[in-house]
Amino acid sequence: MKAIINGRIIVPDINGNFKTLNNHMLIFDNYIQDILPMEDSYIAADIIDAKGCYVAPGFINIHIHGCGGADTMDDNLQSLSTIRIYQAKTGVTSFLPTTMTYDLPRIYRALERIRAARQTQEGAAILGCHMEGPFINAARKGAQSSQNIINADFSLIEKYKDIIRLITLAPETLSGNYSFVEQCQKNNITVSIGHSSAKYSVAQDAIKNHHITHITHLFNGMPPFHHRHPGIVGAALDSDVFCELITDNVHVHPVVQRMVYRLKNRGYIILITDSMRACLLGDGISELGGQKVYVKGQTATLSDGTIAGSVLTMDRAIANFMNASGAKLPEIIEMVTKNPAKELGIYQQIGSIEKGKQADITIFDDTIKIKTVLVNGHCVYTHHKNNSSD
């Protein structure tokens, strides 16, 4: 058995809202076994001293294309290994590798690799796949390639229903036929509105009547909010639907982040990175979806100036949103743990520190500097002062 001592443990209160618990120790093996007062005597084979840092559930990143020079669409398994290792360094214990709008054979190869990699253990765990396209609107493609955009057809993805956990589509392209959405839902695949030009009425109908519960990177890949044409943004803010936010202060201004925090129930905000291979590599020329990308600071763009993914990491996403919104840290931790786990239907297994749940744990300081990361009770990252990435 193992124990974490001297930490500020972030746990759910009686109502399920996260709070900080002091003067307690966390007992675990592969699963959380108990949370005991520090004054209790307990002998553990392995003790981790948190030294006053926060002890939180491991972060869950449900929208990430790549980092550290690797991308989900790369035709090799090593890229997924690289992403897993780099994600762990930023506090992420599980994630959804996210595909892009390519030709179907290449998307299928990516799904096969994700399926194979899911069976291995290194770095952050793979929960499945987020398919971002090809069932989107070319008018809102962003950095996606228009030549491979096609109409939604469940037969095209049925072979991979075991690995696809989230899929982004444009509901207006369904022409009122929601059979694709219904088939996804029957197979435990969450459907998200994104890269779409849907009007408010279409988006609201999809949410209210066809039970779509998710919005892909709110504000991005959709028409801007207008007071006479509220569109997808209006539908998202006017309903209980989970909204992804890229909080790099480039995709969404800090003022708008604060507005979303005030308008949305905290239980329906999910922070994501939407990062690409250039993440953690610094300024320079990179690639996304077969297109050249130019990175300077926190901004990544195509040659025509279109924003292309991000270079955001989850630890910085939390810090940025905390500064922008004024929300308390335990609330924000819900947005990268509890909320994505609930949306994926796996909150009984991960997403909070509670007895019986998997021991996915992230330890970090007041500046959200990651100190230690454990996946299934095993340490996959420990901060050392001589780390080249520090």
Provide the CATH number for the domain around residue 252. 3.20.20.140
Note whether 200 and 228 are same-domain residues.
yes
Query: Is 240 one of the catalytic residues?
Result: no
Structure tokens that stand for 341 in this block: 């786990």
Q: How many CB atoms lie within 10 A of CB 69?
A: 17
With residue 177 as reference, give the H or E element that holds it: none
Structure tokens that stand for 81 in this block: 């290994």
**Residue 389 — very low, low, confident or very high, per pLDDT cuts 50/70/90?**
very low
For 249-265, give one letter per residue: b (16+ CB within 10 A) or e: bbbbeeebbbebbeebe
Note whether 296 and 271 are same-domain residues.
yes
Strand, helix or coil at 241? coil
Instruction: Provide the CB-side half-sphere exposure for 193 (13 A, CA).
Output: 36
Kindly give the pairing relationship between strand 66-67 and strand 70-71: antiparallel
Cα–Cα distance, 321 to 7 (Å, whole number): 23
Which residue type occupies 171? P
Closest CA to 370 of 128, 179, 92, 118: 92
For the segment 267-279, the average pLDDT, to the nearest whole number, is 96
Strand, helix or coil at 249? coil
In angstroms, the first-to-last Cα distance of the chain is: 31
Q: Is pLDDT of 374 > 50? A: yes
For the segment 28-43, the average pLDDT, to the nearest whole number, is 90
For the segment 91-106, the average pLDDT, to the nearest whole number, is 96
**Residue with the larger pLDDT of the pair 43 and 317:** 317
Q: Is pLDDT of 390 > 50? A: no
Closest CA to 135 of 184, 101, 111: 101
For the segment 188-197, the average pLDDT, to the nearest whole number, is 97
Q: Is pLDDT of 303 > 90? A: no
Q: For residue 43, with 0-12 CB atoms within 10 Å meaning exposed, 13-18 middle and 19 or more buried, which class applies?
A: exposed
- Which residue in 71, 74, 248, 274 is the catalytic one? 274
Note whether 339 and 301 are same-domain residues.
yes
For the segment 266-286, the average pLDDT, to the nearest whole number, is 94
Q: How much is the pTM?
A: 0.96
Which residue type occupies 180? F
For the segment 373-386, the average pLDDT, to the nearest whole number, is 90
Residue 147: predicted pLDDT: 86
Number of domains in the chain: 2
Structure tokens that stand for 116 in this block: 């194979």
For the segment 243-262, the average pLDDT, to the nearest whole number, is 97
Contact 156, 130 (CB under 8 A): no
Residue 388: predicted pLDDT: 47
Note whether 84 and 114 are same-domain residues.
yes
Q: Is pLDDT of 387 > 70? A: no
Residue 162 structural domain: 59-343
For the segment 282-291, the average pLDDT, to the nearest whole number, is 85
Note whether 33 and 143 are same-domain residues.
no
Contact 82, 65 (CB under 8 A): no
Note whether 114 and 251 are same-domain residues.
yes
Q: For residue 86, with 0-12 CB atoms within 10 Å meaning exposed, 13-18 middle and 19 or more buried, which class applies?
A: buried
Q: Lowest mean pLDDT: which of 25-39, 133-147, 158-172, 249-263? A: 133-147
Note whether 260 and 190 are same-domain residues.
yes
Q: Is pLDDT of 29 > 60? A: yes
Cα–Cα distance, 273 to 270 (Å, whole number): 10
Note whether 296 and 364 are same-domain residues.
no
